[in-house]
Amino acid sequence: MPDARFLVVLDADSTLIRNEVIELIADEAGRGAEVAAATEAAMRGEVDFAASLRSRVEKLTGVPTTAFARVLARIEPTPGVRELLAAVHERGGVVAVVSGGFHEILDTIAPDLGVDVWRANRLAVSDGVLTGAVDGPVVDAEGKATALRAWAADAGIPLSRTIAIGDGANDLRMMAVAGLGLAFNAKPAVRLRADVVIGPVDLREVIPLLP
């Protein structure tokens, strides 16, 4: 990421895309509603994110990796996402995505949308099915803040020229570290602590805030 002027870091689920991917994968296990309720509690900040994620991923046990194609077909990019990413690039910025979701899905979506770098969790797989475990350390709120700091340092961008955009409680740490923290499509706890709250679910609303 040489010579970038600024860095925009987006959350994935309910920010870059309209969906919560873990719910779509849970649908494949017939446990969508149960996982959706647990995800909602985690996004509101009512429970520890990493513990909640591990317990939700357990419910995905047995889903075949061939189901990812059906999950990908259901992904809905957030309105305005391509316009925002094009505007960031036009102005000499870099776009990153950090997700408490999964590389297995993000590795297809992110390059398709024009994201420059991304980081997420990995689902453990054995014999072509999910084992119900997370592979490696969980990308939680602190993990998101760490990713933002690392990307900014790599590109020689001061934190004052970073923007973090998210909807969930696990986005608050990176929003606090960034020069500008934007609550987008966000839970009440996130709106309260953001520098700017964006109401409409349209990422073009971010364009006038770019440096």
Helix (H) or strand (E) holding 71: helix 68-74
The residue among 14 and 121 lying less far from Mg ion, judged by its C-beta, is 14
CB of 37 to Mg ion, least distance (A): 16
Whether 11 is a known active-site residue: answer yes
The residue among 14 and 52 lying less far from Mg ion, judged by its C-beta, is 14
* Angle, CA of 75, 81 and 85, to the nearest 5°: 130
Handedness of CA 94, 99, 103, 106 (dihedral sign): negative
**And the tokens for 134?**
């997370």
CB of 14 to Mg ion, least distance (A): 4
Can you give the binding site for Mg ion, defined by CB under 5 A?
11, 13-14, 167-168
Reduce the DSSP state of residue 116 to 3 states and report it.
Answer: coil
The residue among 14 and 162 lying less far from Mg ion, judged by its C-beta, is 14
* CA–CA gap between residue 14 and residue 32 (Å, rounded): 16
Tell me which of 3, 13, 48, 167 is the catalytic residue: 13
Tell me which of 11, 27, 116, 171 is the catalytic residue: 11
Sheet with 180-184, side-by-side order of all strands = 129-135, 117-126, 93-102, 6-10, 162-166, 180-184, 196-198
The residue among 34 and 40 lying less far from Mg ion, judged by its C-beta, is 40
* CA–CA gap between residue 37 and residue 31 (Å, rounded): 10
CB of 129 to Mg ion, least distance (A): 26
CB of 13 to Mg ion, least distance (A): 4
Whether 135 is a known active-site residue: answer no
Residues taking part in catalysis: 11, 13
